[in-house]
Chain A
Amino acid sequence: MDVSSCDVLVVGGGAAGLRAAIAIAEANLNLRVAVISKVYPMRSHTVSAEGGAAAVIKPNDSLDEHAYDTISGGDWLCDQDAVEAFVNEAPVEMLRLEHWGCPWSRQPDGRVAVRSFGGMKVERTWFAADKTGFHMLHSLFQTTLKYEAIQRYDECFVTKLLVEKGRCQGVVAIEVATGKILAITAKAVILATGGCGKVFPFTTNGAIKTGDGMALAYRAGAPLKDMEFVQYHPTGLPLTGILITEATRSEGGWLLNKDGYRYLQDYDLGKPQPKPVLRSMELGPRDRLSQAFVKEQAKGRTLEGPYGHYVHLDIRHLGEKLIDKKLPFVRALCRKYVNLDPVKEMIPVRPVVHYMMGGIHTDIYGATPLPGLYAAGEAACVSINGANRLGSNSLTECLVFGARAGQAAAAFAAEQKETNPAISAQARDEQRRLEESFLRKTDGKERIAPLREEMHKNMEACAGIYRTGAELKRAAQVLRGLQDRFHDLQLDDRSYTFNTELTAALELSFMLDVAEGIVASAFARQESRGSHQRTDHPQRDDDKFLAHSLAYRSPEGPPRIEHLPVTITRWPPGQRVYGK
């Protein structure tokens, strides 16, 4: 076992983690910062974000408009103080990234260009063609190389948070390449581990998005907030779940059912116009578009293929020139993975699990209720996304709240004395656990893949776009059963060197915890709001549920759910109106 220490440890090398690390290095030159990530930072799933990142910069826009779009898009479940901080700081954060070299797409006069995005009343989404996340991540990563204070633990997998005397004081991790156990002590820890789309079978998320940080925090006693809100993106490719960015629709793409009819007009999203109209039709919010798909399918008006039902996304009328200029990646993806050219053919699409609105409960400085523990990015729930995130808000969120969490953690760390040496005993226990339950266990009967498949089936069937109390109850039981069976897991791989079966097992156990959080929170929320639609409670219920769900781990058994009122500042709850 190796023991090392730093002042602030950032877990995660995606947009949120890297932004936090730079913020710490700039806030306090005396602090030793480290970034630990289970994959090389530039592999983080931020890399796959396509469409863009929102921030007010143009004269025809205003912070209030951005706030209102965000809050109404989130079906009034957003904390409005958080949203105000977010929209205020978004432009500066985006400019900072411009100064750090991000290749934003430009207007002819050299200023940053913006495009429209679903649920937004004004164009405010900055973009780097349709590889925005890729460019943001690489610009951030390359910029971190400049800071000598930032140390990296690449390909080190965090398995546990070290909590001593009610304070988070570091982590235990496996150095994947060698199997060595690392105990890293820190005065403050920031979790920026991203989302957990892999809890579901059909997702735009990469293999690494397994909710590790959420489960780590949850196991350490911090609650998970609003976990029932799972965003389905309306346009993913069947089979692979590869995302076809919303930018296709903001540039003017249409969603057509099997009769070639723009079916969204039947779902209170406005009427078709020759030019795209903001906050209307294809530019409605994601939850409503995904729900419309399910209803359309029920009416038998979708198409059916080998990988389930789908509709068509038609961008042919945009023309080859525009597609090549603004959506080249979409064209490349379609050619590669569905063997068609969107310049000439329509793209088959269906809703796909995309993003977690919920996450580790934090305040607007990224602090969790556990002292010394902070969270940012998709792993956290501040919350600015409420019941439905608006596309292009989350990359910006990673920057704004990554920086905030970094600053807050730096300030906290500066006040702490040395960390507790008793910590290494805990680390040794964790090492023993890994050996006994995985590497040296010989009497198990379960394998990873079947358990994971069952979890997937269960989540898709019971916690998808539409849910009922009875199904959620059943899902909770199935998950309990899977938790038990997990204890009987047997690995093929006993090696210490780059054992990806071990990490897959740990990820599965993280996902089971997170899945329980999702199901229990969804069961407790007896209303329909944003992305959470209960057919047995079809109305929004502000009297009872204008509140966040908090899921606490309880020793053996399903999570305990509490509710916390939403912070309302200037925008009293209203109806979500689109297409008007």
Chain B
Amino acid sequence: MLIVDSELCIGCGVCEESCAFGAIEVIDGCAVVGDACTLCGACVENCEVEALQIEGAEKSVQADLDSWRGVWVYCEFRAGTLAPVSLELLGAGRKLADARGVHLSAVLIGAGTGDTAQRLIGHGADIVYQVDDPALAYFTDEAYGAVLIDLIKKHKPEIVLAGATAIGRSFIPGVANSLGAGLTADCTHLDIRLDDGALLQTRPAFGGNIMATIVCLSSRPQMSTVRPKVMQAMEFDAARQGKIVNVTPDPVLLQTKVRVLESVVFEQDDVNIQESDILVAGGRGMDNAKGFELIRELADSIDAAVAASRAVVDAGWIGYPHQVGQTGKTVAPKLYIACGISGAIQHVAGMQSSETIVAINRDENAPIFDVADFGIVGDMYKIIPMLISKIEGHRKS
């Protein structure tokens, strides 16, 4: 816990200013710590009179830290398809591995993976652990988790990355917990600290209102899930050499208590809005389900996927998988076009890290304009058809 030495504290308030969580306050000339304290230590560092100290049980450091070597990427393969984030992570992993002077390995789990392992090598992997077994045709947390845990224990990588997808965010926390490893969620930036090999993992929290850099100094592996679309995949290079290691899993690892009865993959391919470069998002301003068709038209005209505010999902105009925001998905496309969305904080939490935001709204005071890079005030029913035709014109020219 954070201890204030009232003898040393001069009530200067530097700690108050340095606390991002508003958890420390100077009352009657002395710092007082509140419940929002996360023990991040920012105040301790900033205190000029050394009146603050974090006390508690010592963190025990795993004995064999140095024997963990190599960077791993879990490459997600579902229903015959490799998740695009896997290649992005190989791109990021390559840089980390080169900085550390170690191998980059890919872990491929599934059934009928075909020449996927070769693709992974072409995109940067030195080694591919290929676990291809009919029993792994459907994703289960138990079997996928057990297989990955087994491989990690055998080969002891120092870093394990996975996509922050539905699958990655489900079973990777179980893997990390079993291993007693630290796991940083939804990273948007990764770096290596050269002197001790620490992975500096940066992620947004509090609905994107704050960024935090997180390290795992006392245990290995250092694990992160990474958001799709933030890392850069390397160009495929057919000449790249690598080794494919076929792994036959112990049948015990494949036993699961959860049975998959059916796996439904939607036919329209725009359900996975987190993987889309452009999103056209519609809100309650579309009035009704029919109005919402205009959103789809705009989306079709620019090969975008359709997203929505919660108001629209609750009205039943489109399914929940399309909802953006605090109780929906977090997205960060290159271009986000918000039409008839007011920009409630719970919506903005899910889209404010988009590269470019366009807002169309008839209310010039709508808060969506506060996060927009470009805004047009006016009636969507007029604006969207004009926009579609201008875009078509632009494409032709």
A, B bound: no
Taking Cβ atoms with an 8 Å cutoff, the residues of B that contact A are: none
